[in-house]
Every structure is written in structure tokens, then in C-alpha cells.
Amino acid sequence: MRVNEKYSTLPAEDRSVHIINICAIEDLGCLPSEGTLLNSLSVNPDAKCKYGLYFRDGKRKVDYILVYPHKRPSSSRPLTRRVQPNDATPGTRSVRQDQPLPGKGSPMDGGSSEPSTDHHEDDKHFRREEYEGNLLEAGLELERDEDTKIPGVGFVKIHAPWSVLCREAEFLKLKMPTKKMYHISETHGLLKTINSMLQKLTEPIQPRVAEHRPQTTKTLSYPFSREKQHLFDLADKDSFFDSKTRSTIVYEILKRTTCTKAKYSMGQGEGRKKDSALLTKRRKCGKYGITSLLANGVYSAAYPLHDGDYAGDNVEFNDRKLLYEEWASYRVFYKYQPIDLVRKYFGEKIGLYFAWLGAYTQMLIPASVVGIIVFLYGCATVDDNIPSMEMCDQRNNITMCPLCDRTCSYWKMSSACATARASHLFDNPATVFFSVFMALWAATFMEHWKRKQMRLNYLWDLTGFEEDEEAVKDHPRAEYEARVLQKSLQKELKHKETDKVKLTWKDRFPAYFTNLVSIIFMIAVTFAIVLGVIIYRISMAAALAMNSSPSVRSNIRVTVTATAVIINLVVIILLDEVYGCIARWLTTIEVPKTEKSFEDRLIFKAFLLKFVNSYTPIFYVAFFKGRFVGRPGDYVYIFHSFRMEECAPGGCLMELCIQLSIIMLGKQLIQNNLFEIGIPKMKKFIRYLKLRRRRLHDHEEHVRKPQQRYEVDYNLEPFAGLTPEYMEMIIQFGFVTLFVASFPLAPLFALLNNIIEIRLDAKKFVTELRRPVAIRAKDIGIWYNILSGIGKLAVIINAFVISFTSDFIPRLVYLYMYSQNGTMHGFVNHTLSSFNVSDFQNGTAPSDPLDLGYEVQICRYKDYREPPWSQHKYDVSKDFWAVLAARLAFVIVFQNLVMFMSDFVDWVIPDIPKDISQQIHKEKVLMVELFMREEQGKQQLLDTWMEKDRQREGPCNNHTPKAPSEAPTLEFQGGAL
């Protein structure tokens, strides 16, 4: 790897700048802590800092980066020079004792001698100064770089030395590998043979990653302790804590380290007095950690570095490059994910997301196969379906009543032949079986994921993690601290007690009320849009019915349905983005105390709004369309003008299938794929244009300077959390399970989408996002509860879809109660009622009653009502109540049966795999044995020392050595206890 050439920017007032020597400063007593802040205005080209991955000395690794706004002095052009190889080496650099340390009484950023008039910038500078000083006291080592290719930006590189890493690892109770290794229990007999065969068969689809290979041994892990360092394998201290762990430790220090300087803290007069009071209150009520400093603009960004470049011929091999080649490339879409390497690089929380996504995609394979079989069964039996054959038979000569008032005329049922045949593809006896299968599939998937999660917890050493997790959850957010500070100051003005100030429900009541009103309003907006689309459908159907073209009039239903669904899709995609922003704003004004609380509340609001937005049009078609239309001569109208639309003679299931398929496929194609690809590239292009425009003012030599790793990462998109990634998959899970009775191919399209989605998300994390801070997590959090709720809701919804939306129950009732020969012949005629055209209300009869070429006296419509020649004409018939009773009975039986089967699956499959529970128990036993041997070794060492002491004192003393020998033994045992 070629040596990176460094440049230095020298302030106008000082051309002789020196690098600060850590040891010299410590010897002089100027720096009591073990850290130091280096002002990298001069560089050594021989130091192999690997393009910003290390400090200037090439030895200390950069663990974290802080970015702050920096203005270069405008009074003079910056002077750049290359440091020659014969310059002073790091070990012989002198120290300017009259030069103050940066961050501790140093001049203002920018090096200008003119007094600054921007008090806000001064305030940010003073906060940075104090904060970085506190980081030094915490033991971190800092190095500043203001001579960068990015104008207006300065960087602070942070390195955690070994002593700090050990201290924080012990504080965070990080489990680290010990020297002890043990063999993992292997299967025997038939299971071993099957596993061996599966490994050979799946070898071509396994990633070429060391972490993914089957492990026969495992290192025993234990929470790190400085007192027990001899237990751990410290042969290579540089690699003992990997980059993920190092950045996590530094981030915890950044959150814990505070800055208490008040606004305009260098002011004078009355402002100085106010600052003093405010400073006192801040020290009592709230302090500025890194989250607060980022929120207030003191720092513009904070992030760990990627391990290096991921593409290029001369790129040094690193985990990022390996992930790009074996995970984030579309060429390896058929391979398993290297989940262990993902966890090693990004942390447990992101690793669990991709593990869950992989398990979900894998479970979609059997669901897709069964869905295809159900669809093919419908295709194979469509020509044998008697109801569709009767509808297509023109000899039946069934005349149907008009679909709208005045403009629509009578029509032949045989004109809906294509719709009836297509409905059978999704409305057949196999659909009921598929609904039961998918309900059991959802329960099996949840159990499979729980077992997979426990296996990962064991492999990733996350067992017993709950106690450690609470410490992270309780860290207050910046907005909460600011609100508490504001409340404390208000209490002080009223001369009230200000100790232990916190936000109560009274403080949050306006936000809660705003949340409630806003959510109700947003849901009302969604319902209003659905109502508007309904009116569009009715109006469009009436308009197309007036068309003179027979082909247009014969395809009215398909045309109206397709255009209305496309409108729904566009509105859903737009409202999804709006509702996401609104949910975040509503959560922000609640001022949750912790990040965990903020995330859970945001997820709940966003899911509620997006669930209603995505599924309301589908719920309308499934359960409301055609249910409240009335009858000919007594129709139901919207706003006294628009007649409610009816279902086709074959039922609304085909229309529900069209609605579901277009919305699902449209969201996956546009929102999940095109948006995820297009929007980041567009943002990246805009950032490039802005950076290029600012670079035009830079010096030519400065432009030619190679970019450092932290500069390249700064231009990447910040990590915004996993909520959007989970959300799109949870909504898709709803499409797959909630209405699967109407669209058996939904699992197949979800599988195809997820194969692309995994690689798309992987590429985004590896190439387009800054490296996120690794967060420990042992489960997927609230998302599991949402998945479980959707799975249970799917059972109920599919029961109602089969009962009320499809014709499955009416066919069963007819077959076993009304059929004369035990077949479905006559079913269509049985479901149609008769209407005398003379009973039309005034102004509602067709304007052209002879459109079919003959005068119509009786027309038919789909309902169970008495004929016009009956004594109770047009009243609901007994057949209606028989079918309704059968539908309700089916819902009850189906729901309870499937729920029982799901609970049975949950009970039969244990949450923890047997081999994992055995390995966890084995680890505990081995750990106890390890400590017992250690204690025995200590006891033997103490006994040996005491025996030598007795032998040495024996000739000089005539008394027995028993008494003195018992005292230290008791003292040791007591200490051990």
C-alpha cells in the first residue's frame, strides 16, 4: 500500500508549528491524564496512517470521528507544504511550552486574530473545548485535522488506548473469549449422516467466509475483568477488541462524557451573570453528552470508520471488502448470508435484522410452492367448474339488472364469463386448505425464528444479557434533558424546589392530546380518500356505460378496477412518506426519555398509520363492497347521487385479488426497490454537486490531496435506523398472511422481492451508509409482538374472507341443502333473485330499455330475496338466513380450529433447541470448573508459601506453628467467600 502524502495548513500568524509529544507533556506535568490531543497541522509522510484509518504516527487506530463546522481564515490564503522525509521524527519532536493545547484555552477555530462577533459559534467552540478536554480526562486520545478536502469541516479523530478499552469492557460487562475452548456436541447416527449430506449439497450456496463454516469447537466467553486478564487470550492486544467493539466502547464514553458550559459563557456584565446561573442549573439538571451536542449543532456528525475501501484492485483486504464480495453483490443472490460476519462488522442489532429477514425469506419457499400448487389446481379445474360454465352458457339467456341508473342498460350474464372463469383460479376448495396452511405457516415461522434467535444468542455470547441492556436503555435523550432543564429554570423563577426534576404526564398531556387528535385525523383522511376513490369508480362506471363501443362496455369492471387500484397505489405510496414524517414529529413532541422508548413509540405510530393506509382499500373490497347496495327499486345512495357499487356475479374475490396484487407488487417495486435505489443515489449526486461547487474556491494543491477514510465516510448517508427496513417487511408480511385466501401467489412474489431486498439492503449498508454504531440486542424487540399480532389477525380475516367474500359457503349450502342431484347444476340460478322492471323508481330505469333487442320485463340480480310474485315480494328469503348461519358457523369453527392448531404447534416446538440448552448448561459447568481450578491453584500457592514460612520459622521458635497457620487460612477462605 503506497504511503499517503500529507499536507499541512499553517495559520498566518505562526509558520513554525510543532507536534505535541505525549511523553514530554506528561513529564512536564501539563497533562495529568494518559490521553493527549494532537493538533495535526504538521505531518510526517513516512507515518503509514493508511489514509485516515490511523493517527499520524501510523500506530494508533482511529476508533471514532467527530465532525464540526470550521471556518478557515479569510485574511490570508492557506499555505500548504509537503513535509520532507528528513523532517523531525515523532520521537524527536519538540514542544512549544508557550503554545496552549487545542481545546484547552486555544485560540478560536480558524486561527483568525480578529474577535468573533458570532456568539453562537463562540458558544459551540467553548462547548467543544470543554467536551474534548473531558474526553482527554476520560483517557481517550484525540487528534485534530482541519486541513481537509471538504471545505468548512474539521475532524477530531479519537483513539481508545488499551487501558481505556479494558476499563470500559469491564464496565459494560462485554463477554470476551477466554483461553478455554471446548468441543460442541455433535449429532450421531442418522442425524449426523443427514447433516453431512446437507452440508455437501449446500456447499455451492455457502458464502466463502471463515465465520460461516461449521464449527466443531467454541471458545468459552466470560465478562471481561481486569483482575482476571490471565483468563483471556491476550497474545495480540491489537486484535483482541475488534473495530466494532472499540467503536462501541468509545461511543459509550462519548454518551457518558458531559459538557456543562453555558451559552455565551465568555460574555460580560448582565449576560455573564445569567450565564453563571444557567451554568449552575445545567450542572444540576442536565449535561451535554454527544447526543445533545449533535442535536445542538456543536458537532455536525459522529461516526465510526469503515475498515477500508470495498472495491478496487489495490485495496487491502478487509471485512468490508469481504462483505461486499460475498454478501452485498447481486452475483451471490443464491447464497446464504454470512450472518456471523455481518454481526462482527455491524453489531448484533443489525445482524439480527438480516438473520430475521433471511429466516423469513427461507420460510417463504414452502409457502410459495404450496401457493403455486393451489393456483395450478385452479387452472386445471377451471373447465370443470359448473358455476362458471353456467355463467358462460349463452343458452341460459339470463338478463341482469342495470349496474347504474338511467345510463346503464340491461346486460347478459354471459358477458361476465371471463371474470367468472378467472375467479375460479382463486376461489376454489383448495383456497380453504391454503388459508389453514398459511395460518399454521405463520405459527411455525414464529417458532422457527424464536429457535433461530436463541441459537444466535448462544453463538454470539448474548445469554444473560438483560441486566446489561438496562444500562443502555436508561440513558436520557438530548431533547429530554433540554426539556427538563427548561422546566427546572421555570421552577427556579417561581422559587420552587428544583431537585429531581422530571417530566410527568401533565407536562406531556398537550403532546398526548395532539397525538390522539392527529392520528384520528390521519385515519379520517385515509377513509376520505378511499371514499373518493369509491365515488370515482361509480362515476367512471356510469361514464363508460354510455360509450358506444361494445368492447369498452364489456370491460367496464376490469377498466374501473385497474384504474382505481392504480390511484390507490399512488396515494398509498405518497401517504406512507407523509405518515412516516408525521409519526416521527408526534413522537418527538412527546419527549420520550430514552432512545428505546422513542423507538417503540415511533414504531407503534408509524405502523398504525401505515397499516390503515395500506389495507383500508383492501378491507373495503373484501368486506364492504356489495354488502350495502340495497336492491333494484330501493338502492342505497352516497350523497343522494351516487349508487353504491355491486360485486360481479362471480363475487368480489376476483376484484380483491386484483386490488391486493397491484398494491403489493406496486409497493414492492416502487417503494421498496426503486425508492431505495434512486433516492440514495440522488442524495449522493446532490452532495457531490455541492462539494464540487465549494471545491472550486480551494487551492489547486489542496484539491489534488488524496481523501482520507473519514472524509470519504463523511460523504456517505447517515444511518437512520432499522425502522424503515422492518416496516416494509412487516407490511409485506401482512399482505402474505392477511388476505392470502384471495391471492395464493402472494408468497411467491414476496419471495422474489426479498431475494432482491436482502442484497439491496446489504449493498446499502456496505457501500452507501456510514458505519453505524454496533448495538447489542438479543431479539428484534417490538417487531416480534407486531408479527405475532398480525399472525393471529390473519386467522380471523381469512375466515371472514372465505365465508363472506368468496362463494365457498353458498356453494356448500346449495350442494348439501338445495341441490336435487347432488351436483352444482343450478347454483347460479339459485343465487339470483328476480325483479319486475315496472317497480323501478321514477328516473332510475334504463334510458334505452330495448338495448338488447327485446323488451325486458323481469331482470335478475345477485341476492337472496323473494320474487315479485310472492306475497312478501323483495323481502329477504329463508335461503339468506341459512347461508348467513353457515357463514358465521364456519368463521367460529375455522378460527377456533386454526388457533388451536397454532397453539399446538407453539407447544410442540420448544423455544430453545435441545442442543443449545445443553451447550449453555455445559458452558456454565465449564466456567465453574475453570474458577474452581483457579481458586485451587491460589490455595495451593498459599499453602506452599505458608509451609515454607513455617519451615523457615521452625528452628527459631519452640511453639507449635498450628495457630499461626490457621489464621491466614481462615482469612483466605473468608476472602474467597
pLDDT of residue 22 exceeding 70: no
pLDDT at 212: 65
- Predicted local distance difference test score (pLDDT) of residue 4: 38
- Cβ atoms of 835 and 858 closer than 8 Å: yes
Q: Which one is predicted more confidently, 479 or 24?
A: 479
Q: What pLDDT score does 87 carry?
A: 39
Q: What is the mean pLDDT of residues 766-794?
A: 90
Task: Please say if the pLDDT value at position 13 is more than 50.
Answer: no
The stretch 381-400 carries a mean pLDDT of: 83
- 419: closest CA among 651, 738, 198, 618? 651
DSSP, res 851: T
| Residue % of the chain over a pLDDT of 90 | 19
Backbone angles phi, psi at 69, to 5 degrees: -70, 135
State mean pLDDT over 785-790: 92
H-helix or E-strand spanning residue 637: strand 637-638
Flag the least confident range among 29-38, 124-133, 269-278, 754-763: 29-38
- The predicted model scores a pTM of 0.82
Helical spans, DSSP H, in 494-594: 505-545, 550-554, 556-590
pLDDT confidence of residue 497: 57
pLDDT value, residue 704? 54
Mean pLDDT in residue range 190-196: 78
Give the residue-averaged pLDDT of 673-701: 69
Residue 115 has pLDDT above 60, yes or no: no
* Model confidence at 891: pLDDT above 80: yes
Out of 87-91, 392-396, 553-557, which region has the weakest mean confidence (pLDDT)?
Answer: 87-91
107 pLDDT above the threshold of 60: no
Q: In the prediction, which pLDDT does 957 show?
A: 56
DSSP state of 121: H
Give CA–CA dist 154/758, Å, rounded: 35
Is it the case that residue 799 has pLDDT exceeding 80? yes
Q: Return the pLDDT at 890.
A: 92
Give the per-residue pLDDT at 261: 55
| 219-233, 544-558, 598-612, 916-930: range with lowest mean pLDDT | 544-558
- Residue with the bigger pLDDT between 967 and 725: it is 725
Q: Poorest-confidence range of 198-212, 255-269, 460-474, 522-536?
A: 255-269
- pLDDT, averaged across the chain: 78
In this prediction, residue 239 carries a pLDDT of 84
Least confident of 83-92, 225-234, 275-284, 487-496: 83-92
Q: Residue 964 above 60 pLDDT?
A: no
Instruction: Give pLDDT tens digits for 339-366.
Output: 999 999 999 999 999 999 999 999 999 9
Average pLDDT over residues 320-347: 90
**What percentage of the chain has pLDDT greater than the value 70?**
79
Is the pLDDT score of 37 beyond 60? no
Lowest mean pLDDT of 115-124, 413-422, 900-909, name the range.
115-124
Give CA–CA dist 33/37, Å, rounded. 11
CA distances from 530 to 378, 513, 615, 617 (A): 31, 26, 11, 6
Residue 554 has a pLDDT of 67
* pLDDT at residue 165, as a whole number: 92
Assigned C-alpha cell, 89: 521524527
Q: Give the strand pairing for 141-145 and 37-39.
A: parallel
Q: What is the pLDDT of residue 697?
A: 55
**Which set of grid coordinates corresponds to residue 326?**
460475498
Q: What does 389-436 look like in DSSP terms, one character per residue?
A: HHHH-GGG-PEEPPSSSSS---EEGGGGHHHHHHHHHHSSHHHHHHHH
Tell me the per-residue pLDDT of 633-642, one tens digit each, with 9 for 90 and over.
888 888 777 7
Of 418-427, 737-746, 941-950, highest mean pLDDT: 737-746
Q: Which residues of 575-614 are buried (b: 16+ CB within 10 A; e: fewer)?
A: bbeebbebbeebbeebbbbebbbbbbbbbebbbebbbbbb
Give the range among 129-143, 276-290, 811-825 with minimum mean pLDDT.
Answer: 276-290
What stretches of 71-229 adopt beta strand conformation (E)?
79-82, 141-145, 153-159, 175-183, 217-223
Reported confidence tier of residue 494, pLDDT bands at 50, 70, 90: low
HSE-up of 894 (CA within 13 Å, CB side)? Answer: 27
Residue 945 has what pLDDT? 84
Q: 815 in helix, strand or coil?
A: helix
Instruction: Provide the pLDDT for residue 956.
Output: 57
pLDDT at 740: 86
Interior CA angle at 557 toward 551 and 563, to 5°? 100
Residue-level pLDDT at 958: 53
